[in-house]
Amino acid sequence: MGQLCTFYLDGSRFCIDVAMVQEVLKPQPMTEVPLASGRIQGLINLRGRIVSAINLRKCFGMNPGGSESRDMNVVVRVGESVVSLIVDQIGDVVEVDEEQFERVPDTLNAKFCDLVQQICKLPNDLLLVLDPSRVVAGME
């Protein structure tokens, strides 16, 4: 039994465990970081704290989102660090049960660059469960 925060990325529906999400913000003024990996979209000022914004589309090797991406910030805590994940759009928070989770099929695993390990079955939809710690680990 848990809650998932859902969001959209390049037409697919993803989710993150609500417990890891600190807050969700509208697009923020962004300072680019020259020479950084393209996956770093920039830095934002989160009430005095400087937080790296990670472009999830880049992490998944998707095309840069045009007008469909609203550059929403999903701020997550991973261990001691805080990062903001840039997603196209924010969806609902859904309640799910343990048995709705399943390992992601190998065919999809490669496609999502190991960042998605589980899939969550909803009655009429599937949610790709993003593991933020893998996203951050992939950046270092």
Q: Please, is 130 exposed, middle or buried when counting C-beta atoms within 10 Å of its C-beta (0-12, 13-18, 19+)?
A: buried
Among 26, 38, 49, 99, binds other proteins (CB under 8 A): 49
Per DSSP bridges, beta strands 101-103 and 89-96 are unpaired
Nearest to 89 by CA among 74, 101, 104, 100: 74
Among 3, 27, 50, 108, binds other proteins (CB under 8 A): 50
Report in angstroms how near the CB of residue 45 gets to other proteins at its nearest. 5
| Closer Cβ to other proteins, 127 or 136, answer by number | 136
Per-residue x/- track, 54-93, other proteins (CB under 8 A): x--------------------------xxx----------
34 contributes a contact to other proteins by CB under 8 A: yes
Cα–Cα distances in angstroms (integers) from residue 62 to residues 25, 52, 66, 72, 104, in the given order = 22, 20, 11, 16, 19
Q: Are 3 and 21 in contact (CB under 8 A)?
A: no
- Which parts of this chain interact with other proteins (CB under 8 A)? 29, 31-36, 40, 42-45, 48-52, 54, 81-83, 136, 139-140
